[in-house]
Structures are given as structure tokens and as C-alpha cells.
Amino acid sequence: MPTQDTTRTSPVPVTGVGVVSAAGTSVAALYEDLLAGARPVTVRDVPLVAGAIPAGPNWRPDQDSAHAVEAAHVTAPLTLPPHIDARARRTIGRDTGLLLSAAQAALTTASAAPAVTATPVTPAAEPGEAPPVTAPRAGAAEPVPASPPPAPPVPLRGADPARIGVFAGTLHAGRSEYVAIHNRAGADAGPVNPVWGPQSSYNAPGAALSIHLGLRGPNLTLASGAAVGLDAIALGVQHVRTGRCDAVIAGGVDSLSAACPPPAADAAAASGLAAAPAGEGAAVVVLTAPDGPAHAPALAHVCATARAYAAGSGAAGEPSGGLADTAPANAGAGAGAAPDAPGLAEAGAEAARAALRDAGRAAHEVAVAVTTAAPHTPTGAAERAAIAAVFGPALPCLTAAGTTGTTGGADGALAFAIAVEALTRTAPPPPTPPDPDAGTDSDADPDSAAPLALCLGLDPDGAATALLLSGPTPTPTPTTTPTGATR
């Protein structure tokens, strides 16, 4: 099994976590809904793009109109950084808004939000309107010019904006704007809103995050597969560990789209996907160097990251979540084909073992695992099989897919956020009777397990990403391991 490992280094502190999902705008709400088995799937109209322009004489209803979509929708209002004025908000697409809102929550969680409130911005004139009039000072012949918009405040006090990196993962960002441009660009189809252009690319949300937060550090968007949210966080960990960044804002995002509506519930059930409704959301974490700018105490630490590939999958140069790529070259019969379920599960198991080796920890120290896919999907089943192979069948295994829906780029980042929340809770997930067919042997030792959590994401093409987290202190005191089967 080809794997890749990192050099053992100090754990990287996680000082902030922000989530926007169908469960709301807090990690705690998502965690509670997950444990309660909540399934907030509704039917709502989804516009193709935000900020649609007036219909032209040849406009067709399918060009940028709304469609009813059955999915796990984000219904809570988005909270953007306060210095983004109304005019700038009209240039922000749905994906960008979700990522900015999750980032704002993460920075607030880290107690790293700006200490001063942004000053009000004088609104600019809309097309066809007279420019705003400023009142003259007493005794002055000329009017007082309007104050310019404030510069974006540095989101992490004491940090150099040039040393704060942004790493985002997505699978679908920009698709709605791209389709809208295509629909409107036909002969006599009507005008195209110019703000759709910059929003029609994968990197639009991550780029907007750096722009609106005034950051000048590395900025990279990954689209590396189903575990892309974990890959983006792993890449951020690497940049902190190597000293390239003093802090990193990393996560994943994807939104629902009227251009590519998910199947209806009956069609999903017929395809075996009833346990994995479509969804949208974003999750963002703040990573800081251990000796970097002083912020809130760490919520958790990333002890290790690892990536493995199923035999015959992957290729040299494939995105590796921030780790040096050692995937095999595809050669021979069947090279490049999607692996079977046992091969995919073994790749996940090897990634988990590599993370344990990198951190110098043992399997029995892990108290909970968090995976990205719904348990009753083929990928989810492979993830659970991988966890059972390394940690035994009694280890609690959580996933947000039943609550948030399958969100694409956000799945891995949401899993990471849930792992951090599990580590910060005093009570472990409630146990449930183990599967009698899974056997009774387990590596878990109830008397010696420490508060460690493992995040695991598998891509059907054969790539596996694992991140190992410890609690608020890098070397936690052993506590009781929760027992029971998965949820």
C-alpha cells in the first residue's frame, strides 16, 4: 500500500472553528443535531445566481431563474465581516458568502476578530442615481469629501498579513455563475452581469477571503476529490509547520445550485443515496504557529496528517494535502481504474496508521473517529471498514452527512470541526450496542485512551486523507474511552 508520511514535529494549535450548515451557524448546534439524528432536509427555491439582472426581451425562464431543490439548505442569515459594505456584498456569490461567514465565525471563536468596529461607509451611487451629497462645513465654500471605505482590518491581532495563508477546498464553486454566463451569452439572450465573471471559478471563494480580510500570504484552492476539505487543512498544517505562515485560515465550501439540482427523494432512495441527501455549507479553521501571535487558547492540536492511495490509483503529482507525494505511477492492466471496496478501505486504514506513526501515538489512544461520507453509501461503508480495521468495531464513529447533507468541498472540513467539538466536550458521544456481526476484539483500552480524534476522508478514486487531533493540550492526560458502535 503506497503511503506518504511527514516528519514528526510539534502539534499545530487550532484556535478557531467556524461552521455554516443546515444545522445553523455554530459547531455546537451541528454537533447536537448530529447526536440527535436530526435531518433538516427541506424543499426550497434556489436561484441560479445571486444578484440576477433584469430580464431582456429574449430572456428564457431557464436562464437564471430559481428552481425548487430538495436538500439540506443553509437557512440562517450569513454573517460577513463588518467592513464589507452593501455594494461589495452584491458582488459576492453564494459560495463566497458561505466561506466568508464561516471564516468570520472561526475568527470570532479564536477571539481574534478586530478589536475596533469598522466605520460606516458612505454608499456609492447606483447606476442612474445622482451621487450622494455631502454637507458643507460652516464657513467653507467646498463640500467635505466622503470618507473612503476603511481598509480591511487584520483578522489576527499581532500577525503580519503577508504571513497569513488561506487554503480552501471545493468541488463545485463557480458552477452557477459559469452556467449563468453561458445561458446569457447566446445570441440575443440578454446582458451578462460582470460580477459573475470573477465568481465563475473554483478559486473565487478563497481569493475573496484573502481580499476582504486584507491578507497577502499564500492562497491556494484545491479541488482534489471528496476529502478536499481535509486536504486544504492538511496543506495549512504543512505551511505552519515549515514556518512559511504564522497563521492559516483553511476549510472547505460548496453550495447548492439550480443548474445541477440533486435527485428527488424517491430517485435518491432508488439509487441507495437516501442516507446522503444533498446539502450545502462551509467550515473554516484557524491554525496558528505554537510561538506565533497570541490569541485564544487552543481548542485542539493537529498532531499528524497522512495520505495513502489504493493500489493502482493516484498518479505522481496528484494533490497530496500538503504532504510530499509518493503515489505510484499508473501502469499495467487496470491502472487508473477506481478501486474496489476492500482496496478503498485498506487505503483508509493505511492513512490512519501513517498518521498514528507520524504522531508517535497508538491506536488505543484514539477516543472517536469522524468520517466524511454517509455510512450507507459505498464510500461511507469503506470509511467505517477502515476505522474498524485499525481501531476495532467499538470505537464511536461520527459523520455529519445525515445532518448537513453531502456538501462536496465542505464535507472534510465539517468532519474536522466535529472532531474539534468532540475533543472540547466533557461528555463523549453516547454509546450504542455494538454490531454483533463485527466481532468482539478491539484495540481500544477503556483505561488508557487519551482524548485523541481521527478524521478520515476517502475519495472513490482511491485517495485517503487522515488527520489526527489531540485535545486542548498537546500531550493530554489519559481519560476514559467512550465505548459503543457508530452513529
Confidence of residue 349 (pLDDT cuts 50, 70, 90): very high
Report pLDDT digits (tens) over 198-232. 888 999 999 999 999 999 999 999 998 999 999 99
User: What three-state secondary structure class fits 483?
Assistant: coil
Does residue 463 register a pLDDT over 90?
A: yes
Q: Is 342 exposed, middle or buried (0-12, 13-18, 19+ CB in 10 A)?
A: exposed
- ∠ Cα 231 304 340 (to 5°): 55
Which CATH class name applies to 12-113+154-288?
A: alpha beta
| pTM of model > 0.75 | yes
DSSP type of residue 251: E
Neighbours of 476 (CB within 10 A): 16
Superfamily of domain 300-470: Thiolase/Chalcone synthase (3.40.47.10)
Which of 12-26, 246-260, 407-421, 430-444 has the lowest average pLDDT?
430-444
Mean pLDDT, residues 131-148 taken together = 42
pLDDT category of residue 154 using cuts at 50, 70 and 90: low
Q: Which of 156-165, 205-214, 320-329 has the highest mean pLDDT?
A: 205-214
Dihedral angle, C-alpha 168, 172, 176, 178, nearest 10 °:
90
Q: Are 429 and 35 in contact (CB under 8 A)?
A: yes
Highest mean pLDDT among 118-122, 241-245, 288-292: 241-245
Pinpoint the residues of the chain covered by CATH 3.40.47.10: 12-113+154-288, 300-470
